[in-house]
Homo-oligomer: A and B are copies of this chain.
Amino acid sequence: MWKIKSLQKLINELSRLPGLGPKSAERLAYFILKQHHSYAQNLAEAILEVKKHVIQCPICHNFTEQTPCWICEDSARDRGLLCVVEDPSTIFKLEKTGTFRGYYHVLHGAINPLQGITPESLNISSLLNRLQQSFNSHPVREVIFAFDADLEGDTTALYLQECLASFPIKLSRLAQGIPLGGSMHFLDERTLSKALQNRVEIPSHSGFDRE
């Protein structure tokens, strides 16, 4: 395709997408080439529209098309609960569960000094301001860290723990253990070890008498 400049350019642009190597980018480019013109038109429009309309909520930094976002705008939620996430995608996942009725704060990343992601480049100062201001009206009772269970997530949680030490706020993080539907056979050792450490006592009020 080095002879077809526009095809080569598309392959180059597609190769920059995460998880797509040159081979996959080539396959996608050929697919686009073979589709009706309307598909290319719709895809190109969708890419431009998303950049045009989607902004960050000034309060929680979630992606939104309105200010404030539909969550910060919802006054029926519990102002005492604040869930801190790395990315907006976690908000969508948590909202789908329907089990959390508090508010969110998006850091847009996790601390990773090797990749140059310092606490200053994340939305941490706005989180501290937000918590501070909450004490004027509706104080936040609990901050929940919903981070990836990796080194960056743990580092960020530890850093925030120190930042928030002086606040009269309960801190918590998501439970770690065996994923639902997870088979013992395919479980990695670290998860298994964590699940063992975090084991939960089974109460004995099931009619089955333990002695």
* Residues of chain A having any CB pair with chain B under 8 Å: 1, 3-7, 9-10, 12-14, 16-19, 24, 26-33, 37, 39-54, 63-65, 69-70, 87-89, 92
Contacts and interface: CB of A to CB of B under 8 A. Distances in A.
Given A5-B53, A16-B39, A40-B51, 7 more contacts: A7-B54, A10-B47, A14-B43, A33-B50, A33-B54, A37-B51, A41-B48
A4 B40 contact: no
| Copies of this chain assembled into the complex | 2
A48 to B, nearest CB: 5
B63 A50 contact: no
A95 B127 CA distance: 57
Nearest to A70: B3
A190 B69 CA distance: 57
Per CB-CB distance, the 10 closest pairs between chain A and chain B, nearest first, are: A44-B44, A10-B46, A40-B51, A6-B53, A6-B49, A13-B46, A44-B47, A10-B50, A13-B43, A6-B50
Nearest to A51: B40
Contact of A32 (B37, B40, B47): B47
B10 A49 contact: yes
9 contacts: A4-B64, A6-B46, A6-B53, A6-B54, A17-B32, A26-B89, A41-B51, A44-B44, A44-B47
Nearest to A3: B70
A19 B27 contact: yes
A63 to B, nearest CB: 6
A10 B42 CA distance: 9
A46 B9 contact: yes
A9 B44 CA distance: 11
Nearest to A95: B3
A165 to B, nearest CB: 31
A63 B33 contact: yes
